[in-house]
Amino acid sequence: MDIALECRNLCFGYGSKAVLSDLSFEVGKGRFYAILGRNGSGKTTLLHCLNRILVPDSGTILVQGRDIRTLSRNGIAKCIGLVPQEHMDIFPFSVLDVVVMGRTPFLGMTERPGERDRDMAMDALSALNAEYLAHRNFNRISGGERRIALLARALTQATGVMLLDEPTNHLDFNNQYRLLATIKSLCRKKDISIVASMHDPNMAALFADAVIMIRDGKVMAKGPARKVMIRENINALYNTDVTPVSLNGNATLFFPDTVVREVP
C-alpha cells in the first residue's frame, strides 16, 4: 500500500493542556479514513495539525514521503485540502468565486484567477454534479450544497490528501448519505486520500475503509473498519453499551442498548 500521509508521535497542547499525545497512524493512497471520538476529543485539532494550521509540539507529519516542516505554506496547500466544519461567509460570494479560491496556492502573489482557473473550478463542480450551483450566492444555498461547493474547492486545490471536518454536520438525513457516497466515489475514482472526522460511528462503518479511534488524546484503536468497528471498541470509545445490528451481513451498525431495549 502506498502511503499518502503519515503521522508519527504527534503531540499537541493548547498552553499547558495536552490535547493530543503520541498519535501515530498512516493513511494509504486513495483510502477513506474516518476519525472517531467523543465531542472535544481533539478531532478537529488533529486535522488542523495534519496540514500545519496548528503547529504540533512534537512529532512528524509526512505528506507523500516529505516532512511537512520542509514545505512552505503554499507547498502544503498544494498537497492537502481542507473542507472546514461550518462555513458562512461574511460577503456574498458566488459559488464559483468560492470554488476558484482553491487555485490560490498556484497563483502568484498579485495574480488573480483567469479563464483556465475558472474552467478547473467548473470541472470540479461538474465532477460533483453541481454545475448548477456555479452562479448562486454561496450564503443562500442549503447546508448540503455549501458542503458540496467546499468539496469542489478542495478538489480544485489539492488532489493528494483531503481533510474533512465533520462533513455531515448539520445535513439532513438523506443528504448525509448522498454526500458521503459522493466523497467515497471521489476517493475511488481520483485516488484521493480522505481523512474525515465523524461523529456517527454508523456512517464510518458504512463508508470508511479504515477507522482511527481517539480517546483521551491517544489512539485507542486503528485499522480496517471491519476489524476496528466492534462492540467492545464502540463501548469503550463512547463510554456506553451498544448492541450490534447486522446489515445484510455487509456492515454492522450499532445502537445504544437502552434504545434497543426500550423500543417496542
Q: Which residues are near another protein by CB under 8 A?
A: 48, 51-53, 72-78, 80-82, 84, 87-94, 97, 101-102, 104-105, 107, 109-113, 135-137, 139-140, 157
In the complex with another protein, which residue's Cβ is closer, 101 or 251? Answer: 101
In the complex with another protein, which residue's Cβ is closer, 78 or 226? Answer: 78
145 exposure class (CB count in 10 Å sphere: 0-12, 13-18, 19+): middle
Q: Which residues contact 66 (CB under 8 A, 6 or more apart)?
A: none
Helix (H, G, I), strand (E, B) or coil at 230: coil
The cell numbers describing 108, all together, are 502568484
Least spacing, CB of residue 173 vs another protein, in Å: 25
Q: What is the identity of the amino acid at 133?
A: L
Least spacing, CB of residue 244 vs another protein, in Å: 37
Residue whose grid cell is 484521493? 192
CA pseudo-torsion sign 148, 149, 151, 155: positive
Q: What is the identity of the amino acid at 87?
A: H
Least spacing, CB of residue 6 vs another protein, in Å: 19
Neighbours of 155 (CB within 10 A): 24
Q: Which segments of the chain are extended strands (E)?
A: 3-14, 17-28, 32-36, 58-63, 66-67, 80-83, 161-165, 193-198, 210-215, 218-224, 242-247, 251-256
In the complex with another protein, which residue's Cβ is closer, 66 or 73? Answer: 73
Least spacing, CB of residue 221 vs another protein, in Å: 28
Q: What is the CA radius of gyration of the chain?
A: 19
In the complex with another protein, which residue's Cβ is closer, 106 or 255? Answer: 106
In the complex with another protein, which residue's Cβ is closer, 80 or 127? Answer: 80
In the complex with another protein, which residue's Cβ is closer, 87 or 199? Answer: 87
Least spacing, CB of residue 130 vs another protein, in Å: 15
Least spacing, CB of residue 169 vs another protein, in Å: 15
Asked if residues 222 and 206 have their Cβ atoms less than 8 Å apart, the reply is no
Least spacing, CB of residue 236 vs another protein, in Å: 31
In the complex with another protein, which residue's Cβ is closer, 109 or 263? Answer: 109
